[in-house]
Amino acid sequence: MGQKNKIVTFVINPNSGTQNKEHVLRIIEERPDRELYTPEVVYTEYAGHAVEIAARKAQEGVFAVVAVGGDGTINEIARSLVHTPTALGIVPCGSGNGLARHLQIPMDIKKAIDVIDEGYLEMIDYGKINGVPFFCTCGVGFDAFVSLKFAEAGRRGPLTYLEKTLMESLNYQPETYELETEDDTLNDKAFLIACGNASQYGNNAYIAPQAELTDGLLDVTILEPFTVLDVPSLAFQLFNKTIDQNSRIKTFRCRKLHIHRSKEGVAHFDGDPIMMGKDIEVKVIREGLRVIVPSDAPKGSLNVLQRAQDYINGLKQLNETIVEDISQKNKAMLQKGKEQIKKLTTL
């Protein structure tokens, strides 16, 4: 990390994801090497609070602000750190952790803090959608619609997201879009249009598998209307990092993208929904953010075995979440049964 006695601020969102933040706090207190830096911990108290905290810390000149949360918390902190000397650190505790996964930051809390200890920095690009910064993906269409339903659900985690995706996909109607880049114009009827600065939504779901954070380009993925017969291959390729090979998919790269649609509606940035008008401008800004990343993370495209492992890990995580959800429901039913028996025995 270079010069000693630097300040690193850990910003904890107590409401993001599904992990116990007290457990994270204990690890932060135990693990950091105090000879490398002085850690401080701040909790967010309301939506948007992380933006204010990070801006203040950047003005104070701290070495890094670490987002302890999900992509929403990361977005709030990172937008205040762009074009400043203060770096973004990530301890992934969210539902999807798209940016952390792309950067190959470990999902294990202790190992993620080891990365912070190392302090290896990389400059990455970021994007803007109608002036709103994003660091992973943004888009319109079905994924934006699901992000809105997910936000309204009140519950977090991949199971909720999967549930909303399956339910809403049955009735969602594709829209016609006019797309204009610096080089071309096209009209397309699409289920969704995703713009990737990074490669995935989260949970190893790669919507823009070839996207890089340092190439100065947006990777645009257009999913055209499809049938139920296409779903298995689309789902497999989404997690296998090969969705760009599907016949229902169109992809291209650009620095700027103008999207025109027939009516106002929802869009999303880093998984958060936002209402926008008929015209949407998306662009990439080069090398705008310092990020702490693993020094030994392999660069470039993953090989076939790594892709297969990503897919297996995604299925494993989903399976564990489903099992946990069923277990919680069974416990709730058992408790309710005990209460009913108790009532009957006291009559």
Q: What are the contacts of 16-20 at 24+ separation with CB within 8 A?
A: 16/69, 16/70, 16/72, 16/73, 16/93, 16/94, 16/95, 16/156, 17/69, 17/70, 17/93, 17/94, 17/95, 17/156, 17/157, 18/95, 18/156, 18/157, 19/93, 19/109
Domain regions of the chain by residue span: 6-119, 132-284
- Do the domains at 6-119 and 132-284 have one common CATH topology? no
List per-residue pLDDT tens for the chain, 347 residues long: 555 568 999 999 877 655 567 778 888 888 656 677 889 999 999 989 999 999 999 999 999 999 999 898 999 999 999 999 999 999 998 878 999 999 999 999 999 999 998 899 999 999 999 999 999 999 999 888 666 554 554 554 554 445 555 555 667 789 999 999 998 999 999 999 999 999 998 888 899 999 999 999 999 999 999 888 888 888 888 888 999 999 999 999 999 999 999 999 999 999 889 999 999 999 999 999 999 999 987 654 444 454 555 555 555 555 554 455 555 555 655 666 556 555 555 65
Please give the CATH number for the structural domain made up of 6-119: 3.40.50.10330
Domain covering 132-284 assigned CATH 2.60.200.40 in the classification: yes
- Tokens at residue 132, please? 């709103």
Q: What is the 3-state secondary structure (H, E, C) of 15-58?
A: CCCCCCHHHHHHHHHHCCCCCCEEEEEEECCCCCHHHHHHHHHH
DSSP 247-293: TTEEEEEESEEEEEESS-EEEEETTEEEEE-SEEEEEEEEEEEEEE-
State pLDDT tens for residues 212-266.
999 999 999 999 998 888 888 888 888 889 999 999 999 999 999 999 999 999 9
Q: Is the pTM of this model over 0.95?
A: no
Residues paired with residue 256 on neighbouring β-strands, in sequence order: 283
Strands 6-12, 64-69: pairing kind: parallel
**CA dist., res. 310 & res. 304, Å (int):** 10
